[in-house]
Amino acid sequence: MNTRSIRFRLTAWYGGLLVVLGLGFGTYCYWRLDHFLSLYLTELFSRRAERIANTLLGNIERNGEAYLRSEIEARYAPETNDRFIRVTRGDGSVIYLSGEPNDQSFNPKEVARPVKAISGLSSRIEHVGGNDLLISALPFVSGQQQYVIEVGESALPIKEVLQKFLVSLLIGLSVVLAGAIWGGFLVIRWALAPVKKITSTADEITSLHLDKRLPIVETGDEIESLSKTLNRMIGRLEESFRSVNRFTADASHELRTPLTIIRGELETSLLDKSLSKNVRQTIYSLIEETENLSKIVQCLLSLSRLDAGSAQMECVRLNLADLVATTTDQMAPLADEKHVTLTTQADEEVEVIGDQVRLRQVVVNLLDNAIKYTPEGGTVTVGVNATDRRAQLEVSDSGPGIPTGDLPRVFDRFFRADRIRLATIEGAGLGLSIVQSICTAHGGLVKAENHVDGGCRIIVQLPLAN
């Protein structure tokens, strides 16, 4: 899982917030339950103390202290019920003290007396024998004598209830949080599903497919607004690309006629035998430059047609290996003229669907570049093979290679690596651009890389014919 994705981060934040809220809610419930149980027991003890005061101590002068002790034992059975009851006089002497409870959770004799005089009903917690004891104390006056009734019980039952509640709370919160986080993950994935569609469609939009638009999900949210905004932007880009392509095509087309006329006029002027040698050399140079300009214009026209998708292409099933072998043989005289060894490794049959003229142009441009940039005595190797369901054409040379910083730009139009050193080599920097456009039109790709031991390698990959 991609931990940097929006879906993961939203789920993590959502889950973290739920955990914090769940822990906060559980802590609050635990504290409230503890407080409620303690309050409930202290109120219960207070009522018992009031009953002892009203029903027993109120008649102590008539019934006597023995009767008080027997009635407390009979009515409340402190030892059996694990309770604490103590009745003392105002001077601190004890009238009644319950015995040790059956659960032996505390020793009544170790329970300290209140440190200050009690003026009204009060509650306190005593730590006795390693356990907490909840005690409610009530002052009472009968006749001329003041008494204090203390009723209490161990806090162990509260702790047991809290422990069971804590276990149930942790299990319940774990299940609820896990379900909520999983549900949140699914909801977030559903909410971001349009983004995945938008991303996959955006990957397919290139300068050749600007007519495509991003899918719009009618949800009324920010994603819908973003899709519409991006589609409007793509529409503006499409119009800009069309304008540029129309201008390039129109300019290239309009320049062809004047260049043809200029060349014709220059060739006609050469018929004048009265021209001096210097003038003739100048005219020859102008004709050569005119020819170069005509080639550049023709390349620009081809590029604009390929970019616009209006170039005529007759796609047929053909053997790329045979096409490469034939074209390499035709380019052999150019290599022999420069004393460059040209070899072909295209023995196996590799079939593709494509335009034979355009694919031949790819091979010609690649071989022309390789031969031009390979020094005398060097080698150029052309190979064709099938790999990973794609046909691969590879042209390697033993030339100087391409500077590492220029590799990403070799397919840019009019770009030539190391212009100063290669100034004497003819070319306008459009050959590889045409190769890339043709490969893109065929659903393929082209890349350039340097050999470890020197030289450059251009790799063209095209879909294999089914």
Q: Which helix (H) or strand (E) holds 82?
A: none
75-84 pLDDT, tens digit per residue, is 888 888 888 9
Q: CA-to-CA distance for 42 and 46, rounded, in angstroms?
A: 6
53-67 burial: b if 16+ Cβ within 10 Å, else e: beebbeebeeeeeee
Q: Which helix (H) or strand (E) holds 156?
A: helix 156-204
Q: CA-to-CA distance for 239 and 237, rounded, in angstroms?
A: 5
Question: Above 90 in pLDDT, residue 32?
Answer: yes
263-304 pLDDT, tens digit per residue, is 788 888 888 878 888 888 888 888 877 877 777 677 666 666
Q: Are 433 and 366 in contact (CB under 8 A)?
A: no
183-239 pLDDT, tens digit per residue, is 888 888 887 778 888 888 887 776 666 778 888 877 777 878 888 888 888 888 877
What count of other Cβ atoms lies within 10 Å of the Cβ of residue 182? 12
83-102 pLDDT, tens digit per residue, is 899 999 888 889 999 998 88
Q: What are phi and psi of 177, to 5 degrees?
A: -65, -40
Q: Determine the pLDDT at residue 419.
A: 47
Integer angstrom CA distances of residue 452 from 172, 378, 459, 461: 63, 16, 15, 21
DSSP line for 223-253: HHHHHHHHHHHHHHHHHHHHHHHHHHHHHHH
405-421 pLDDT, tens digit per residue, is 777 778 776 666 654 34
- Angle, vertex CA 448, rays to CA 447 and CA 452, nearest 5: 135
Q: Are 224 and 242 in contact (CB under 8 A)?
A: no
For residue 124, count CB atoms less than 10 angstroms from its CB and return exposed for 0-12, middle for 13-18, buried for 19 or more. Answer: middle
pTM of the model: 0.50
Question: Residue 428 is encoded by which pair of tokens?
Answer: 């306008």
Q: Determine the pLDDT at residue 427.
A: 55
231-247 pLDDT, tens digit per residue, is 888 888 877 777 766 66
Q: What is the mean pLDDT of residues 47-65?
A: 86
Going from the N-terminus, what domains does the chain have, and what CATH number goes with each?
Answer: 6-161 (3.30.450.20), 222-308 (1.10.287.130), 315-463 (3.30.565.10)
Average pLDDT of the chain is 82
